[in-house]
Structure 1
Amino acid sequence: MSQAIALSHSPRQEARKALPWALAAGLSIALLLLQTMSAAARGAPESFADLAEKISPAVVNITTSTTVARNTAPRGVVPEGSPFEDFFREFQDRNNGEGGENNRPRRSSALGSGFVISEDGFVVTNNHVIEGADEILIEFFEGGELPAKVIGTDPNTDIALLKVEAEAPLAFVSFGDSDISRVGDWVMAMGNPLGQGFSVSAGIVSARNRALSGSYDDYIQTDAAINRGNSGGPLFNMDGDVIGVNTAILSPNGGSIGIGFSMASNVVVRVVDQLKEFGETRRGWLGVRIQDVTEDVAEAIGLEKVAGAMVTDVPEGPSSEAGIEPGDVIMSFDGSDVEDTRSLVRTVGNTAVGKAVRVVVFRDGKTQTLKVTLGRREEAQNAVPASQPAEPEEPTKTEILGMTVSEITDELREQLDLADSATGLVVQDVDEMSKAYEKGLRAGDIITEAGQQKLAGLEDLNKQIEGAKEAGRKSLLLLVRRSGDPRFVALALEDG
């Protein structure tokens, strides 16, 4: 009987006992396969050795030499005017000797990095690596040195293009598309950190579209180690394409803390192409002064979404000829939506000089399209903003919207150094508890427009306030000038 029972329990019962173990084993295998596939999807390399070997011949060390006049004054040793100043000067003169060897100009050297982008010897680096240099020497990974000449520089993006003359074709690397790089992608940096030439570091893309200080900034942030001397070196993706030029680090002590910045390749390519063709940059110029659109500004002018770039001033140039006016919000440029002022500046700068583009502006509650032929920014750096002429009426003063404002008098015109043609209202005082004070308005500011209408007197301001309230607006848009610089301020009507 026991044998029969034993036979009856097997093989069905054994199969039941084995099922959970089989499922568990299958699940483990499935998880392992999933992890392997996930790692492959992330592109996590087992080693960077093959990539480093592939791209190293195109990466170069750069040494610059500059003549520096020797400063014989005892500055930095004793304070200027100190009773010991003469003593230290005499001591220095005795050691240097009048016209002696130590008094001659000296040579100063600096180190940086770069990379070859063509077999005929074009080299990309940072402008600050070679700026002011008398001599530039390029050292190659596989040995040998060559002098380089400067083809062109662009301080705005800190990019320089050099050229060397070699007897044989040089190894070079190509630019990749920085716009398709994603946060988390693996990257590799190579350069000459702290003089330790041809050093490799690896990390990931930590962030994209970083802005540091310039109008054309588009930096890739990475945690790959970047130190002094890495400037001008390449940042590679895993295909061996250059997606950035290592430019700056964020550091409290001068060393890498894992926050480095590389100028995105899609910016660099445009600059390099222009430097190669013209020896200088040629950026498009729209000819407007602009500011970002905020929520209260959008509400004040009836704009449905917070987007675009608000025009604060229009000097003589492409935009004035096309009919763009202060108070317009540029919503689209050459078929591309405008998110904010930074995106507009970059897009315009990347557009060809002389190109006729369509610009969509929001004005008086509706959009309209204007055609603008772009000028060249480099030729318009000193453009003077246009004035807004009109005649003031009899001067009066009142308290409104948390401010004490008055019409312009000859006395105020002289005190504030205003042009004879200047119009508007002068802010004489601001209640520190008011919304106007919170928004930065101060005594001496000139309010030239309200509700995108020019102000000739206080009555004009009152009309705009009443009109805004009747329209259900919570705020009124003011155009304020301080020392000639204009900005729009959306001021809440509750103080009125």
Structure 2
Amino acid sequence: MKPSEAMLNTEGTGPEPAQDALIDAYSRAVAAVADSAGPAVVRVQSAAPGRRGGGLGSGVVIAGDGLVLTNSHVVAAARRVRVGLPEGGDREAEVLGDDPATDLALLRVELPRGAATATLGDSKVLKRGHLVVGIGNPLGFESTVTAGIVSALGRSLRSQSGHLIDDVIQTDAALNPGNSGGALVAASGQVVGINTAMIAGAQGLAFAVSSNTARFVIGEFIAHGRVRRAHLGIAAQTVPLARRVALAIHAGANAVRIGEVQAGGPADLAGLRVGDILVALESVTIAGADDLLRLLNAERIGRPVQVSLLREGRLVTRTVTAQERVQPAAARR
């Protein structure tokens, strides 16, 4: 039997029942996600200085009091932006926080009564191959839905501002300009990422900032109006640990691999190297790049911290004096 014939039922008039049921289940899952999270995705347009027409992208309403999460590069250093609502009309929104280091920004806008909101989920539950749905406004086409799978986790990606964003989700969902700031949603209906970039000229390569990183950034915005954080001067990537290694050193299933060391930075001065795998900071297990980001808070600035790392199969400890990560003047406004 030819492959084409195998796809037909005994009468040759359509898909086999099992395949038909599988396609139907997939369609129902994507439709359910679109129905639950889609109404919480809005259009965001900035009128940034020096940018003709301003930036255009998407945003996700995450709270009923009008908090909207989007990309820093969509806001583009503007103090106020316009938010287009799914039910029509647009309103002015205030930029509460802008963090180019994670390409995230937080807005506040007055919403109509009963406006839909999305729930931020736990991005750590994601695995390669999981179904994800992208919702946004690509090329001005509002409320566009696209689906794909998680292609990889723990990527590092350089943002448009030149910062290296850690713990990025890679997906093959079809994203286009204008999807930036929109929602990447798991089959559960929870937002697990904020779409941040696609690779021009490539197919099946799109990226999102993890929801766990977004949670940390939102907390900083609300508490301080900006993200004040320490840094070690490294590019970090989440990697899995072999079970026997994790058990032997009492670490978690994942750790952080150093992919780049900034010359003259804290890690360089402490003797850390590319390829070192960080497993703990101050005796706290590091389960991923987002954990490291949260641990390096403002309290660590200027303080020596003990890091435990794997190097050439041995567990060693180094003392690193963290420095404050300084944002460009344009980002600080």
Picking from 219, 222, 228, the partner of 1:273 is 219
Picking from 66, 81, 101, the partner of 1:156 is 101
Task: Give 1:196 shift.
Answer: 0.8
Residue identity in the other structure for 1:146: R
Partner of 2:207: 261
Partner of 2:228: 282
Picking from 372, 377, 402, the partner of 2:324 is 377
SS in 2 for 1:147: strand
CA offsets per residue over residues 330-383 of structure 1, 9 Å max, x none?
8543236779xxx6x7654321332585433689x98665777x65523699xx
Structure with the bigger RCO (C-alpha within 8 Å, sep 6+) is 2
Alpha-carbon distance in 1 for matches of 2:41, 2:60? 4
Q: CA RMSD in A?
A: 4.1
Structure 1 residues 361, 53: closer, same or farther in 2, change over 3 A? closer
Alpha-carbon distance in 1 for matches of 2:272, 2:80? 51
Q: Is the 8 A contact 2:29 2:187 kept in 1?
A: no
Task: Give 1:49 shift.
Answer: 2.6
Question: Which one has the largest radius of gyration?
Answer: 1
* TM-score w.r.t. length of structure 1: 0.48
Partner of 1:349: 293
Structure 1 residues 375, 145: closer, same or farther in 2, change over 3 A? same
Moved more, 353-362 or 203-212: 353-362
SS in 1 for 2:307: strand
CA offsets per residue over residues 102-161 of structure 1, 9 Å max, x none?
xxxxx6244211110100001011111110446511111122321011111111111111
Q: Is the 8 A contact 1:60 1:116 kept in 2?
A: yes
Aligned length: 281
Picking from 36, 57, 81, the partner of 1:112 is 57
Partner of 1:298: none
SS in 2 for 1:232: coil
Alpha-carbon distance in 1 for matches of 2:270, 2:71? 38
Percent identical? 33
Picking from 178, 194, 201, the partner of 1:245 is 194
Partner of 1:55: 37
Alpha-carbon distance in 2 for matches of 1:277, 1:179? 24
1:354-433 superposed matches below 5 A? 354=299, 358-360=306-308, 375-378=322-325
Q: Is the 8 A contact 1:57 1:172 kept in 2?
A: yes
Q: Is the 8 A contact 1:330 1:338 kept in 2?
A: no
Residue identity in the other structure for 1:359: V
Task: Give 1:290 shift.
Answer: 9.4
Structure 1 residues 380, 360: closer, same or farther in 2, change over 3 A? farther
1:223-238 superposed matches below 5 A? 223-238=172-187
Structure with a larger share of its residues in helix: 1
CA offsets per residue over residues 429-456 of structure 1, 9 Å max, x none?
xxxxxxxxxxxxxxxxxxxxxxxxxxxx
Partner of 2:121: 176
Alpha-carbon distance in 1 for matches of 2:259, 2:167? 22
Partner of 1:137: 82
Structure 1 unmatched ranges of 5 or more: 1-31, 70-106, 293-306, 382-496
Alpha-carbon distance in 2 for matches of 1:47, 1:291? 34
Structure 2 unmatched ranges of 5 or more: 1-15, 238-255, 329-333
Structure with a larger share of its residues in strand: 2
Q: Is the 8 A contact 1:313 1:326 kept in 2?
A: no
Task: Give 1:225 shift.
Answer: 1.4
Partner of 2:280: 333
Partner of 2:12: none
Alpha-carbon distance in 2 for matches of 1:330, 1:182? 21
Picking from 42, 47, 57, the partner of 1:65 is 47
Alpha-carbon distance in 1 for matches of 2:310, 2:29? 54
Q: Is the 8 A contact 1:285 1:348 kept in 2?
A: no
Alpha-carbon distance in 2 for matches of 1:210, 1:47? 27
Residue identity in the other structure for 2:176: N
SS in 1 for 2:98: strand
